[in-house]
Structure 1
Amino acid sequence: MRQNTAFYQDDFDIDKRILQEAAARPGREDRKILWFSRPSGTCCVRERDVFLKDTRQHNTWRFYGEQTRDTVLAYLVELTGKEDGKLKGNLYELDYEQHFRRVIEKSVPADNYTLVYEHGERSIPAGQYFDGNPDPQLGKFERFEAQPNDPETLRDVLMEEQRSREKLRPGDFKAHVTMLHDNRIEREACRVVGKMKLLQEPNGPDKTRFMVELSPYFVRLATEKDADRLFSMLPYQTLTFSKSKDSFGTYALIDKGEDRSKGIRKPRPSVRAQLAAGKEKTAPKKAAAKTRQKEMEV
């Protein structure tokens, strides 16, 4: 979440509550949770509900793949219990684009809802209105659940999902977070270079420079080191980062004579990374580090 969600990070407080409640339930289906991070918030829903057509969970999971270009990081959380008050379980990385398409293809219709109360439950058609008020006989309303028309088909779909996860190789959590961090900076470098290539005429205030605004999501999450690394990956000799007096954004600016056909500069692998890959050789001499120029306004 801290590598991808720039705004509304407090959504994660809701996610934590959902996970705590799910871990306390006895059913295995209740303890398999789909979670995603997007640039403006997070989402936490039961896997079972996502594979039921026309539910809120199903529609939400599909929406960011079908209707936006957001960078979405998706995972399956399999809760196994608690230890010393901390949740325990397994975390599976998902390819969100492939997964939401699989959800579209394999989801099962649901025609009824089960209304769960403090002392029991009752069923109603999915389209029928209910207000969540206490029931005179069943007591306080707790939640509702969509029910599949064909429970066996839903069970088969969920089992197929489980089998596909069991084939995955165990990962390294620290290495995974490092990869997310590196990818975030590289994506921004590619985005800036792509935007620079599309500009037809200098668009800076003085009309002598090209400029592209840095993503507000990137700026919100970036440390000083992240900004320096982005600067080093952009292939421009006259590059500066600057804030504008006319807006709240931060911009990358280059002189109009710059060659804008170049791609990003890939960072050299560290000696440690080379050794880890089995390439035990002397690291090449590093080029002089490029410093980031700063201006007050443009």
Structure 2
Amino acid sequence: MWFSRPSGTCCIKERDAFLKDTREHNTWKFYGEQTRDRVLAYAVELTGIQDGKITGNLYELDYQQHYKHVTEQALPADNYMLIYEHGEREQPAARPFDASPDPQLGKFERFEAIPNDPEALQSLLREERHSREQSAVPGDLETHIAVLRNGLIETEARRIVGKMKELSDSNSPDKSHFMVELSPYFTQIATTKDTDRLFSMLPYKTLSFSQIKDRHGTYALIGKDENRDRQIRKPRPSVRAQLAQDKKRTAPKKTAAKTKNHGLEV
């Protein structure tokens, strides 16, 4: 399973996420229980290699629902298997260990949590996979990324509008403007086009984006007399995009080839 959040990204094994008290289980839960970060989550199924590229399927997960599901369904794992160069050794999960070589088994390589009921874990993982496959529909990766980017811009616009409303007094250095810093998470990945679209969604007549002397970051500024009790502007649909969509709807449909795997690159 893979999740991405403003401060980073992480991949973990699904089996480990469903084992209580493992690092992977606690990590998967943490960002739902302890933060308000927007988290994108996916189940990743690797299917092979094509033209030198790893291929597979991505199943989008509702992170807020999924971490609760993982919490409810997780199984106990009271032992660890320590895996060495020349063998393995099982021990209680509560007993401390380090990565030191073993006199008989050699170099330490890794460890795995051992479920108390291996069959129950296998049954759970089969059920998870079946559920994903039953509800999944073929998607287009480029379209999905475009939707995510649109969501990123709208989320930032809503955040700025909300912060502007919270300000009780003008807060620019000379007290002539209200200002809110653009999120560093947004500015680090936004293109010039993204920033232009953000600007167009903010509902202020006196809006400007600017840097402030002796401060890091970029700020949205509006005049102190500007009405801040407003909602974001929804972007107008592109005429070109609308024409392309209409053309797509009227084009004759082609019979889709049936394939077991959709071949999304990951």
Query: What is the TM-score with the length of structure 2 in the denominator?
Result: 0.87
Is residue 183 from structure 1 mapped to residue 151 from structure 2 by the alignment?
A: yes
> Over residues 221-267 of structure 1, what are the superposed CA-to-partner deviations in whole Å (9 max), with x where a residue is unaligned?
12222111111110000001111113102111111221211111111
Q: What are the within-5 Å matches in structure 2 for residues 151-190 of structure 1?
A: 151-166=118-133, 167-190=135-158
Q: 1:38 is matched by which residue type in structure 2?
A: R
Q: 1:40 is matched by which residue type in structure 2?
A: S
Unaligned runs of 5+ in 1: 1-33, 281-298
Residues in 1 aligned to 2:193 and 2:240: alpha-carbon distance in whole angstroms? 19
What's the secondary structure of 1:110's corresponding residue? coil
Return 62-71 or 154-163, whichever deviates more.
154-163
Residue identity over aligned pairs, in percent, reads 68
Q: What are the within-5 Å matches in structure 2 for residues 248-259 of structure 1?
A: 248-259=216-227
> Over residues 43-82 of structure 1, what are the superposed CA-to-partner deviations in whole Å (9 max), with x where a residue is unaligned?
1110000110110111111111111111211111111222
What's the secondary structure of 2:204's corresponding residue? coil
Residues in 1 aligned to 2:55 and 2:98: alpha-carbon distance in whole angstroms? 35
2:26 pairs, out of 56, 59, 66, with 59
Q: 1:192 is matched by which residue type in structure 2?
A: I
Return 41-50 or 159-168, whichever deviates more.
159-168
Compute the RMSD of aligned alpha carbons.
1.8
* 1:276 positional shift: 5.8
Residues in 2 aligned to 1:180 and 1:168: alpha-carbon distance in whole angstroms? 18
- Relative contact order: is structure 1 or structure 2 higher (C-alpha 8 Å, sep ≥ 6)? 2
Return 79-88 or 38-47, whichever deviates more.
79-88
Q: What are the within-5 Å matches in structure 2 for residues 1-298 of structure 1?
A: 34-166=1-133, 167-275=135-243, 278=246
Residues in 2 aligned to 1:61 and 1:125: alpha-carbon distance in whole angstroms? 23
* 1:150 positional shift: 1.8
The count of corresponding residues between Structure 1 and Structure 2 is 247
Q: 1:207 is matched by which residue type in structure 2?
A: K
Q: 1:68 is matched by which residue type in structure 2?
A: T
* 1:178 positional shift: 0.7
Question: How has the CA–CA distance of structure 1 residues 273 and 165 changed in structure 2, closer, same or farther, with 3 Å as cutoff?
Answer: farther
Residues in 1 aligned to 2:96 and 2:48: alpha-carbon distance in whole angstroms? 36
* 1:213 positional shift: 1.0
